[in-house]
Amino acid sequence: MKTTTKLVLLGTAALAGVGLSRRQRAMANVAEELRGPQLMVPLPPLRSGRTLQVMRRTFTRPSAIAEGVEMRALTARADGAERRVLVYERPDRVRPSGALLWIHGGGYVMGAPEVENEVCSRIALDLGVLVVNVSYRLAPEHPFPAGLDDCYTALAWLHEQADELGIDPDRVAIGGASAGGGMAASLAQMAHDRGGPAVSFQVLVYPMLDDRTVQRPVDALVWNNRSNAFAWGAYLGHPAGQPDERPWAVPARRADLTGLPPAWIGVGDIDLFHDEDVEYARRLQEAGVPCELHVEPGMYHGADAIAGKVDSMRAFRTRMVAVLGEALTPRVTT
């Protein structure tokens, strides 16, 4: 049976399980321009290894690379470790430029850097910076801290090879969407605690920050709490919501956020991660960390990827890129 057929059957079964009327009520909260038939047949919730394998095969198609951007695959080596990375840049990039380490989404259990070619190449094109998109190991085969260690390797490599890559080590930002945003938040904490490599800014797009959300009686479109519980459990190696004192495993569990890099957090008001993202932004601000929070009305999880041509989603991404561009602009001293 083809993967797409399996996905439709699994989604249809999920729809029967949650009830069509409940789905229709949830749709009423979606911004009108973001409503579409694709939301009426939900993604199957992650609940087993079988479902995960189907989802992995489905969501690995590379997205397009923006015209005028060159992409090449390299091997990032640092501290005896190595990872594959994709590097995007304009041929006319002015060196040294700022750089962005981008971490792909997928609930810590699926996804691939090629899936996010479009967003990475668009940032490289619009801002004239170097963008590095890291391939990290996925759970449950490789639970925490494997994937985070891979991202740290890529960050260290960026700094160690700054001259060769033509980047300013004082202007290296990190970011990602969903689990990629959560991994970026953890990476910012790890780098801070280890005394480097330096991170100048973190851009967190509806980040997956807190496993304790699975304990709340809430649900949402696209990424629901059932999938959330499975993914966190796979990543942490124990059921989501249980105590976990390991540094950087769950970024929202960190008690002291003082000294972390400035941040931008963007999330929809009907996203499952809305409350945890708003709370993390509030705590960053209270800790003295500059943090801009943008909450998009009627936006479900991943809507900018699913309905990227809609005006509001174009504006959402434009806002994110503009903030990142400001953060990576050289500071003029007098």
**pLDDT tens digits, one per residue of 112-161:** 999 999 999 999 999 999 999 999 999 999 999 999 999 999 999 999 99
Q: Give the pLDDT score at 58.
A: 85
The closest alpha carbon to 143, from 256, 231, 34, belongs to 231
The pLDDT score that the predictor gives to residue 231 is 97
Instruction: Say how far apart CA 137 and CA 143 lie, in whole Å.
Output: 8
Residue 298 in tokens? 């009627």
Q: Which of 194, 196, 213, 197 is nearest to 280 (CA)?
A: 213
Is residue 287's pLDDT more than 90? yes
- Express each pLDDT in 68-81 by its tens digit: 999 999 999 999 99
Look up residue 160 and give its two tokens.
Answer: 């160690």
What is the per-residue burial (b if ≥16 Cβ within 10 Å, else e) of 237-256?
Answer: eeebbeebeeebbbbbbbee
pLDDT category of residue 232 using cuts at 50, 70 and 90: very high
Could you say which architecture CATH assigns to the domain 3-328?
3-Layer(aba) Sandwich (3.40)
Q: What is the pLDDT of residue 274?
A: 98
pLDDT band at 39 (very low <50, low <70, confident <90, very high): confident
Which pLDDT score, from 0 to 100, does residue 16 have? 41
Q: Is the pLDDT of residue 61 over 80?
A: yes
The pLDDT of residue 47: 87
- 156, 61, 69: which is closest to 104 by C-alpha? 61
Residue range 299-320: mean pLDDT, rounded: 95
Where are the domains positioned within the chain?
Answer: 3-328
Per-residue confidence (pLDDT) for residue 8, from 0 to 100: 35
Please report the pLDDT score of residue 330 as a whole number.
Answer: 87
Cβ count near 183 (within 10 Å): 30
Q: Is 90 exceeded by the pLDDT of residue 107?
A: yes
* Residue 51, number of CB atoms within 10 A of its CB: 19
Number of Cβ within a 10 Å radius of residue 328? 22
Place of tokens 């938040």: 185
Active centre residues (catalytic): 178, 271, 301
Helix 3-18 with 49-58: angle, nearest 10 deg: 120
Query: Which percentage of the chain shows pLDDT scores above 70?
Result: 91
Of residues 333 and 2, the one with the higher pLDDT is: 333
Q: Find tokens 């479902």 and name the residue.
A: 51
pTM: 0.92
C-beta separation of 174 from 103 below 8 A:
yes
Contacts of 24 (CB under 8 A, 6+ apart): none
Q: Computed over its alpha carbons, how large is the radius of gyration of the chain?
A: 19
- Sequence-separated (6 or more) residues with CB below 8 Å from residue 80: none
